[in-house]
Amino acid sequence: MSVSASVSTATAQGGSTPGGSATPRDSAKAAKTTKAATGIAALAAIGPATWGTTYVTTTELLPPDRPLLAAALRALPAGLILLALTRRLPRGDWWWKAAVLGLLNFGAFFPLLFFGAYHLPGGVASTISAVMPLLVAGFGIGVLKVRPTRRTLIAGLVGVIGVALLVLRGSAAVDAAGITAMLAATTLMALAVVLSKRWGRPEGVSLLALTGWQLTAGGLVLAPVALTAEGLPDHFTGANAVGYAYLGIIGTALAYALWFRGIERLPASSVSFLGLTNPVVATLAGLLLLGQTLTPWQVGGLVLVVASVLLGQNSRRRQRR
């Protein structure tokens, strides 16, 4: 067979030419893969986007001074509902794995998060949480044996700067205990992302069941702490019920199921950058619902955050190719 015939045959079968150029079939397959990854990332971003509405929901609909109660009512009822719907309990190692992930994502994360929120201005808290992509990159070296690219690290730094411009104020006070709590909460969530990627999901178990295990485990830790430290309010209003239902169903059960789906199907670093949509949505919610305004610096920060998220996604996709 002649060389030209060999090339023609390879091209017709969907392979690459000897020079290494991609065939139309290769290009179509790559485009399809990129489109699928974009769709998964968009759905996963719904999680942190809904978390960005937590502040508005809490201040406008929930009883005051009950952060731990709000955390417990976000986690435990949603977890029990998912357990009832899926009718699936952990087996073997997944009893302790679900407990560890539930503690990292909810049981320990929520109290530290609310402690930091109560001791720091929102801008400082959001800026600290923006280091999560860099923490995930660091944990990924040891746990996933994946070294971050220079592009990923640059995107992480751009994200921190963007969030700082978006939410930080010149008069922001600094509290050592609040900073420590917020950094610890962000570290726990970053570790949870990496461990979730490492452990994956048990065969035959749905994402809703896995989410339910973690929510229930975290909620069982939070409930007694909340009842002991804060207790129940004297009465619940209709607005309180709407707020708790929204946070539990939309902001927790649905949001975390989509978030865990993203962790399962995308590189850990890509998912961590999606978390930067949280302060963006929080800022936009304040703009639209609370009558707040944006300064030119905040607009610039918003642009940098979006650029960071896109840069983080692109860097991981190119590395995978």
- pLDDT (tens digit per residue) in 255-314: 999 999 999 999 988 888 888 887 777 777 777 776 667 788 878 888 888 888 888 875
Segment of 14-23, 157-166, 176-185, 186-195 carrying the highest mean pLDDT: 186-195
Q: How confident is the model at residue 318 (pLDDT cuts 50, 70, 90)?
A: very low
The better pLDDT of the pair 190, 65 is held by: 190
Specify the pLDDT at position 204.
Answer: 93
% of the chain residues with pLDDT over 70: 82
- Note the pLDDT tens digit of each residue in 69-97: 988 998 999 999 999 999 999 999 999 99
How far apart are alpha carbons 227 and 236 in whole angstroms?
A: 15
Average pLDDT, the chain: 82
Closest by alpha carbon to 240, among 62, 71, 78? 62
Neighbours of 222 (CB within 10 A): 26
Q: Would you say 135 and 187 are in contact if contact means Cβ atoms under 8 Å apart?
A: yes
The better pLDDT of the pair 278, 11 is held by: 278
Give 141's DSSP letter.
H
Q: What is the pTM of this model?
A: 0.78
% of the chain residues with pLDDT over 90: 36
The crossing angle, in degrees rounded to 10, of helices 94-102 and 176-199 is 150
Specify the pLDDT at position 122.
Answer: 59
Closest by alpha carbon to 230, among 134, 110, 316? 110
Q: Would you say 269 and 134 are in contact if contact means Cβ atoms under 8 Å apart?
A: no
The crossing angle, in degrees rounded to 10, of helices 122-129 and 150-167 is 170
How far apart are alpha carbons 310 and 155 in whole angstroms?
A: 9
Q: How confident is the model at residue 316 (pLDDT cuts 50, 70, 90)?
A: very low
In 3-state terms the chain splits into helix, strand, coil percentages (rounded to 5) of: 80, 0, 20
The better pLDDT of the pair 119, 43 is held by: 43
Q: How confident is the model at residue 172 (pLDDT cuts 50, 70, 90)?
A: low
Closest by alpha carbon to 269, among 132, 109, 129, 106? 132
Q: Would you say 222 and 76 are in contact if contact means Cβ atoms under 8 Å apart?
A: yes
The better pLDDT of the pair 29, 153 is held by: 153
Whether the per-residue pLDDT at 31 is higher than 80: the answer is no
Q: Would you say 159 and 230 are in contact if contact means Cβ atoms under 8 Å apart?
A: no
In 22-46, which positions are buried (b, 16+ CB within 10 angstroms) versus exposed (e)?
ebeeeeeeeeeeeeebeebbebbbb
Which pair of structure tokens corresponds to residue 27? 């290009």
Q: Give, for 17, the enclosing helix (H) or strand (E).
A: none
